[in-house]
Amino acid sequence: MPGASDTLWEIAKAEVEKKENQEGDRDGLECWERSIFFIGNKNGPKDIAHFWELGGGTSLLDLIPIPITTTNVRALAVVLVLDLSTPNALWPAMESLLPVTRKHVDKIITKLEETNPKAANEIKQKIWNSLPKDHPDRELIDPFPIPLVIIGSKYDLFYEFDSEVKKIVYKTLRFVSHYYGASLVFTSKSEALLLKTRALINHLAFGFDRSKSMAVDQNKPLFIPAGLDSFSQIGPPPASDSDIGKLHAQTPMDLWKKVFEKKFPPKNIGVSKEVRDPAQDPQYAEYEVDAMRAQKNQELEQYKRNAAKTWKEMEFES
């Protein structure tokens, strides 16, 4: 216990020694560092210090394994950021990013079972803790293996949409979020909405108490912590019985997808390339700058080849 006369260095030293002494007790989920991994549409999430962020649609799917490891998976959460102003890109973003992320998380947990089965089991059990034991949907959902938050960004633009459009997006995202045992929140530049989103992220990142309030009014931004919604409250997909009968869906998720895509045909969410690159325009040519740029491009390509080789060896070793 540091005394009043201890120097800053003595206090820091004492803290480090305390953590080292407790290192042997970290077989379970107790971790000193937590991680948050942001994925989503291009231009959806903003850069956040000390957080992983992968925005760019499906163009960077190969990079998803990098921030998810056996070291941090025990205290890792995933945040999927969706651009509400482009409804046609919502389902492609979810369908592309979530399964790839989930597959890698499952792979990492399987690896963890070989070295620390207790921790792996606790991860699996922890995800069900957010859902009450008497919840009527426990047998109907398929929770994401680690905490998942779905953020609908640009609510200020989405608010101006037609009420029927908003209804479909609201109900669909509620269904998907509840099915995956995820939290759902809509946000924009509004300070009030940012505070709600920040509180949810603080819960994931720092273990702060989770809000138990929820907002499901179609005329207001959604805020639904994991486990507080239900299929009975969400209701059926927003389509007539005759239309639903013609869709021939195999699963509830498939049915919601078909209903959603009928209204919002899928839109490519990859990174669009500019038709013209100013750097290649002769009118802006500068010998020294162009020579340095060419050198840096070569170095970048070499780095990418080396990095790709390293990751392939790491993830696909027999």
The residue type at 15: E
**With bands split at pLDDT 50, 70 and 90, how would you rate the model's confidence at 278?**
low
What's the pLDDT score for residue 208?
67
Lowest mean pLDDT among 28-37, 110-119, 189-198, 256-265: 28-37
Predicted TM-score (pTM) of this structure? 0.69
Domain residue ranges of the chain, discontinuous segments joined by +: 29-263, 278-315
The string of pLDDT tens digits covering residues 101-111 is: 999 999 999 99
Give the burial class of 214: count Cβ atoms within 10 A of its Cβ; 0-12 exposed, 13-18 middle, 19 or more buried: middle
**Measured CA distances, 221 to 45, 159, 228 (Å):** 17, 8, 16
Contact 65, 104 (CB under 8 A): yes
pLDDT, average across residues 136-155: 94
